[in-house]
Amino acid sequence: MSTFVHPFREGSKDQKDLLGGKGANLAEMTRLGLPVPPGFTITTDACRYVMHHGQNPPELADQVTAALEDVAQQIGRRFGDREDPLLVSVRSGAAISMPGMMETVLNVGLNDETVQGLAAQSGSERFAQDSYRRLLQMYGATVLGIEASTFEESLEAVREERGAADDAGLDAGALEEIVGRYKQIIERENGSPFPQDPREQLRGSISAVFESWNAPRAVIYRNAEHIDHELGTAVNVVAMVFGNLDERSATGVAFTRDPSTGEHGIYGDFLVGAQGEDVVAGIRNTRSLEELGEVLPDAYQELLRTMDVLEEHYRDLCDIEFTIESGKLWMLQTRVGKRTAAAAFLIATTLVDEGAIDEREALTRVSGAQLTRLMFPRFASGEREVLARGMGASPGAAVGEVVFDSETVIARAQEGHECLLVRRETNPDDLGGMLAAEGVLTSRGGKTSHAAVVARGLGKTCVCGAESLDVDPKAREIRMNGEVVAREGDVLSIDGATGEVFAGRIPVEPSEVAQYLEGDLAADDPRASALVRSVDRLMGVADEVRRMQVRANADTAADAQRARQMGAQGIGLARTEHIFLGERRAQVEKLILAGDPAEREEALAELLPAQRADFAGLLRAMGDLPVTIRLLDPPLHEFLPDLTDLSVRIARAEEAGRRIEPHERKVLAAVERLHEQNPMLGLRGVRLGLTIPGLFGMQVRAILEAELEVRADGGDPHVEIMIPLVGSVRELRAIRHEIDDVTEEVTAGAGDGAELTTRIGTMIELPRAALRAGEIAEAAEFFSFGTNDLTQTTWGFSRDDVEAGFFFTYKERGILSDSPFESLDQYGVGELLRIAAERGRATNPDLTLGVCGEHGGDPASIHFFHSLGLDYVSCSPFRVPVARLECGRATL
Ligand code: PEP
Ligand code: MG
């Protein structure tokens, strides 16, 4: 019989996959002797069983009963007992945290009888009725699927009838009346009454949590965060403790360090007389944790001690949910806390300084995605008027049009508008809008509100609790002191670090970290912040431990220069077609239109000096670092006008009786001749070199002459010539012959002592090339995987169309969670890489292996390339720092 239920005292923090993050950490805290209410976890195995079989595992019911019995023993109360009932919470908890995405039901076990027992035991009829109405509300909405607003409206109505300003103003009688109304709502909407049997309540709540794994918002969240849909959630059943019992009761959340800066300090929010959800829901404005010391000093001291124990144990920033019941502290949750990107770097190096972790471990605590965030621009400094101030909940500079609901944000973002989602507070259904918005602004809720927590997790700029703003979604306007300050569609700017809100569009400038990475700010410059010093330190560690080199894809001397400043150790791909564009287009057109060899040679001769100058510039910019220059790759029609446009133009001209110039006719004929149904599978790459005499020869000559020129000036260039789109070794051999001939001519022409050290290699970007890599390696000194084309040709997905096309449906249907053009498909395309690397190295042990497709800058792909033993990755200059960091992390 499988075990689907684990009591807290049996698990550990290392069992997240099975127990979920919450369950594993509750178990860990129990083992550490911290005050955790007794409870148990139903494993993710059970959730997966339900997903696959559509019903609970048969043994689950008995196991839950036994575990509940065990909880009852520990706490001395029985489930369903009329005198002194045990109540439980039922909470979701997946292996990877999905804040606010799934369901929770509190106070399970209350019914018309046990509510009396609870009143007697607690000495508070009001408290018992309040707990019961919360159960009815949560059970009704979560388990029975009744619209949450139905309950809210009913509550509101009673509040109005009784003249109560808020829930606290409702007495026991009023709450009892609400209980009655809620029961009627449930019976009416559900067709049967609220289940009085606590066991049925428990069963229903557990099933609802399992089902919430596949709720639309949870699916959206997992797609956004690239979380596997198969993982499933665990369910935690925990004895209730009550933060709403009396005025010596409270509930709150805390961090062991400031999650924005990593600094030690007291950081968190709490509410007196409230239950857990009230704090994160952002509905009531919370109090700062420091005040807890005055309100409940003993519990506060114990909380501080507990936080020290947790930091010491996890050696990291932890976040905590706690409840104080009549002065006694209970821990309801902890986990290694979500943090901003800046805090991740600061905390990692602070922990090294404190001796808690070593530098290598510190490197594992940060990521390339976080570094990318730190490179985002910030608002330019300058005097400006602040419209309002909230809390800086998730840093960044966001500018966008004010929009009051998520659906509109999504629709407008799809039309290309940049929007800010502006809400009083967000709720889990706002996820889609938060993802589509540039930033999120709320007028209520603290740094631990839903908006803040989710935005931080997503790396989305967020200002929350800007209380002076009166957000009115019905009127679609924001007012301050009764005056309209922004209507829907008006532009606002929000600073997620300072919490400032500005009217209009504020200009942005490079972030400090970007300035540092681009070489414009030294880490030891007195102006550099602690963050820059942390980044510098961890980049140093990454550079020290990494095995793979990082090169850049750069086509011009200016790009090459920038890449070098960012730490590129060479150029892995210079696309020569980019040098063919602009004013050179005319010369390329001449080449394409050439009617005979003489005309063609003339055109090539005109292109030669321009190409040579470009290459010399690139080589000079890179000094003695390798520079891989790829011969012309794209189909030639890309240099000519579009067939349809041109045909229409000529037809119109003819119709108007205008004379058509012979040149125009020639161009049209060439365009028609070169037109292909599938140009990406047509005349391009090595095929161009083999069919247009002299084209590759001219490019090779330009490269070699540039090499000699730079060497003659005292430089030490390392040139690599790369042939694209090779599928057969015969193609490569034919081109190599041409290269050899040109090399001989160039060397002979240069006179004595002229020496060329050029290496010749090929791209592997067709499945056939990968499979035949063994023989191709006989004719190549290096391979560079063109993973863009290799993905296109392996999947048969058009790289130019697919991301705007059916990928959306594929993602929605869970067929793909990531675009294989962004993150390498390690199973399919990756298998071809593995084969090519093995076969290539088997025939040529000195073969250099690199990647120059977009995946060269993608963190997950980089880890895979490391595991294949590749020598380098090459990516756009801007991603070089991220690649350096991830190449380092890949070795740990
Ligand atoms: C590739 O195909 O991965 C590649 C780098 O070449 P391009 O993107 O220029 O086709
Ligand atoms: Mg390619």
- Looking at the structure of the chain, the number of domains it has is 4
Q: Could you tell me the strand order of the sheet in which 233-239 lies?
A: 5-7, 39-42, 233-239, 88-94, 104-108
Burial grade of 214 (CB within 10 A; 0-12, 13-18, 19 or more): middle
- Bridge partners, 820 (sequence order): none
- 661 domain-assigned: no
Ligand 2 centroid to Cα of residue 785, in Å, is 9
Are 292 and 390 within one domain?
no
- 481 domain-assigned: yes
- Bridge partners, 760 (sequence order): 721
Rounded mean pLDDT, 439-455: 83
- In this prediction, residue 284 carries a pLDDT of 63
Burial grade of 482 (CB within 10 A; 0-12, 13-18, 19 or more): exposed
- In this prediction, residue 164 carries a pLDDT of 84
Are 230 and 265 within one domain?
no
Are 712 and 749 within one domain?
yes
- 226 domain-assigned: yes
Query: Which token pair is 641?
Result: 């006008």
191 or 445, greater pLDDT: 191
Nearest ligand 1 atom, CA 784: 5
Does ligand 1 lie within 6 Å of residue 886's CB atom? no
Query: Which token pair is 108?
Result: 């399970």
The C-alpha atoms of residue 463 and residue 499 are separated, in whole angstroms, by: 5
The C-alpha atoms of residue 764 and residue 790 are separated, in whole angstroms, by: 7
Active site residue 737: no
Give pLDDT tens digits for 341-390: 999 999 999 999 989 999 999 999 999 999 998 998 889 888 888 999 99
DSSP 536: H
Does ligand 1 lie within 6 Å of residue 685's CB atom? no
Q: Are 79 and 88 in contact (CB under 8 A)?
A: yes
Does ligand 1 lie within 6 Å of residue 707's CB atom? no
Which range (256-265, 339-348, 542-551) has the least confidence?
A: 256-265
Domain range for residue 432? 376-509
Asked if ipTM goes beyond 0.90, one says yes
Q: Which of 47, 852, 875, 887 is catalytic?
A: 852
C-alpha distances in angstroms, 482 versus 364, 476, 493, 618? 50, 14, 21, 61
Kind of pairing between the strands at 88-94 and 233-239:
antiparallel
Are 809 and 780 within one domain?
yes
Ligand 1 centroid to Cα of residue 851, in Å, is 10
Ligand 1 centroid to Cα of residue 408, in Å, is 37
Are 311 and 188 within one domain?
no
CATH number for the domain harbouring residue 267: 3.30.470.20
Are 872 and 773 within one domain?
yes
The C-alpha atoms of residue 15 and residue 128 are separated, in whole angstroms, by: 36
- 656 domain-assigned: no
Whether the predicted model's global pTM rises above the 0.80 cut: yes
- In this structure, which amino acid lies at residue 799? R
Give pLDDT tens digits for 182-235: 999 999 999 999 999 999 999 999 999 999 999 888 888 888 777 888 899 999
> How big is the CA angle at 774 (ends 769 and 776), to the nearest 5 degrees?
55
- In this prediction, residue 279 carries a pLDDT of 63
Are 83 and 212 within one domain?
yes
Are 268 and 233 within one domain?
no
Residue 128: CA atoms inside 13 Å, Cβ hemisphere, count? 23
The C-alpha atoms of residue 74 and residue 35 are separated, in whole angstroms, by: 13
The C-alpha atoms of residue 408 and residue 411 are separated, in whole angstroms, by: 5
DSSP letter for each residue of 273-291? T--THHHHTT-S--EEGGG
581 or 835, greater pLDDT: 835
Q: Are 447 and 453 in contact (CB under 8 A)?
A: no
- 649 domain-assigned: no
Question: By C-alpha distance, which of 336, 264, 216, 105 is closest to 812?
Answer: 216
- In this structure, which amino acid lies at residue 714? G
The C-alpha atoms of residue 379 and residue 508 are separated, in whole angstroms, by: 4
DSSP 89: E
> What are φ and ψ of residue 257, in 5° steps?
-145, 170
Please name the residue whose Cα sits nearest to atom 4 of ligand 1.
786
> What are φ and ψ of residue 246, in 5° steps?
-155, -170
Are 383 and 323 within one domain?
no
- 516 domain-assigned: no
Please name the residue whose Cα sits nearest to atom 8 of ligand 1.
788
Tokens 């409940």 label which residue?
Answer: 296
Active site residue 852: yes
Give pLDDT tens digits for 488-532: 999 999 999 889 999 999 998 889 999 999 999 999 999 999 999
